[in-house]
Chains A and B, each alone.
Chain A
Amino acid sequence: MIKDIPFLIVVFCIVLAIQIFGLSYAAVLNVTPDVTTIFLALVGVTISQRASASFGFIAGAILGIFSESSGMLIGWIMLAKTVEGFLAGYFNVPENSHATAKQKTKRIYIAIIFAGFASSAIIAAVYNPLGFPPAIGIAAFGLLKSALTLVLAFIINLLFLKKILLD
């Protein structure tokens, strides 16, 4: 099901809509979990690095355009998301590997932590959302964002991801 392109595009649109309009309520210290990171990790792990980088690039462009607070950062968000998708692709599980759903889930979590942290670090380096000194700001924003995204990923895993990965 995950490799069905129309389905993937529909999910991608929903994910972007949720990220743009729906996640501001879940903010902690003005940092929101990133549902696009989960999507890119899923694509990177289950499909390919090329696909996750491409989706990351498009997601970055759209999020950059629609992001009111960081509208000036459109290029940086594109870069961050492209890097995120590209890094997530390193955790790709080849189709013929016969990996179990549990193993794939584990890889998705790891991809979320690494790719999410890298992406957040790029954003934090540019506009320092937490207002800390640069190095601490990058680390704190990266960790907080990854942690929140990971929590969201656990919830999504419980609700949908297991079924998708088993299919």
Chain B
Amino acid sequence: MFNTENDKFRRYTAFINRYSTYLLFLLYCSISVLFIKLQNRETLDAIRTGAIEFSSFLSEKVTDIGEIFNVQNENERLLAVNATLLSKIMKQDAEIADEKSRYKLVADTTINASRFIIAKVVGRKFSDRENMLIINVGNERGIKQNMTVFTPSGLVGRVVFVSEHYSKVMPLIHHEFKVIVESDKSNSMGILSWSGGREDIAEVEHIPISTSLKINERMLTSDFSTFSVRGIPVGRVISMKPDKLFYRVEVQLAVDYSTLSYVLIAPLKAEHEKTGLLKTSSVPSNENEIQ
């Protein structure tokens, strides 16, 4: 009996060994069929839901990794966009500032700007002695040499060279610039010039010791000037030092050249006859001094 059972066991073992592949295949198929039967059950649904969530999570991570590699390109693209936007903002800011300056000039009620030409300062060269401004109007707008350039604050200079679209302005703070000025209260007259140094201080010469000129008095352009219209403020007297015959008067200039952006240009004075007379005078005169 024992031998018979042993034989049976051996036969089973041999059978299993021989057909193990098929038996395994059958087992797998049975499990698969079981899953097919169970596929609508809640447990399986839960497994599927969990798997889908896990799979989505992994997919998201894989996408994130891909995005890391794209960050550099994205940064470069954003920098380009930023540069474009910045350039637009800067342009708009500049236009707004220009418009404000223009408006300020035109809206000034102390002068009637309608008969003057408005110009923008587009270039400037400042050094110890050689200062020059470039404005964006020229022959095409009727600009001529020796026209007066000013702002509501005061005299800026005079036009010395004109091209088609631009003009060169010799500012008051140029060592060759001279203009006849008079004080608004005492009517004391003198020749204003700038001898270098501080760009906000000029000197007035030929004011006699007998003058009643006082500190803080305003100096304006005079009608005696051959180029400038009368009454443009030039500055304010800040010091008076007596010499032998004349005072050496220092004037704080009215115009701040460092912030100059828009200017007005006055029409040329029609005084050719007067200029001609001065040139042909029997008494020799220094042309610069009576400008």
Query: Scoring A residues 41 to 58 as 1 if CB is less than 8 Å from chain B, else 0, what string do you get?
Result: 000000011100110110
User: Cα distance A82–B29 when bound, in Å?
Assistant: 7
Q: Is B12's CB within 8 Å of the partner chain A?
A: no
Interface size class of A (residues with CB under 8 A): 20 to 34
A-facing residues in B36-76 (Cβ within 8 Å): 36-40, 44, 47-48, 51-52, 54-55, 58-59, 62
Query: Scoring A residues 33 to 73 as 1 if CB is less than 8 Å from chain B, else 0, what string do you get?
Result: 00000000000000011100110110010001110100111
Chain B residues, Cβ within 8 Å of A76:
32, 36
Given contacts A75-B33, A75-B34, A82-B29, contact A21 B24 (CB under 8 A): no
- Tell me which of B32, B36, B48 contacts A57 (CB under 8 A): B32
Establish whether residues A75 and B37, one from each chain, have CB atoms under 8 Å apart when the complex forms.
yes
Query: Scoring B residues 140 to 179 as 1 if CB is less than 8 Å from chain A, else 0, what string do you get?
Result: 0000000000000000000000000000000000000000
Establish whether residues A21 and B62, one from each chain, have CB atoms under 8 Å apart when the complex forms.
yes
Q: Is B31's CB within 8 Å of the partner chain A?
A: yes
Q: Is A116's CB within 8 Å of the partner chain B?
A: no
Q: Is B87's CB within 8 Å of the partner chain A?
A: no
Chain B contact surface mostly:
helix
- Tell me which of B21, B31, B59 contacts A21 (CB under 8 A): B59
Chain B residues, Cβ within 8 Å of A20:
55
B-facing residues in A75-97 (Cβ within 8 Å): 75-76, 78-79, 82-83, 86, 89
Q: Which residue of A lies closest to B51 (CB)?
A: A65
Establish whether residues A49 and B32, one from each chain, have CB atoms under 8 Å apart when the complex forms.
no
Q: Which residue of A lies closest to B47 (CB)?
A: A65
Chain A residues, Cβ within 8 Å of B58:
21
Q: Is B20's CB within 8 Å of the partner chain A?
A: yes
Question: Would you give 8 A-B contacts (Cβ < 8 Å), ordered by A?
Answer: A57-B28, A71-B48, A72-B40, A73-B39, A75-B36, A75-B39, A78-B32, A79-B29
Which 5 residue pairs of A and B lie closest in terms of their CB atoms, listed nearest first?
A75-B35, A75-B36, A79-B32, A78-B32, A65-B51
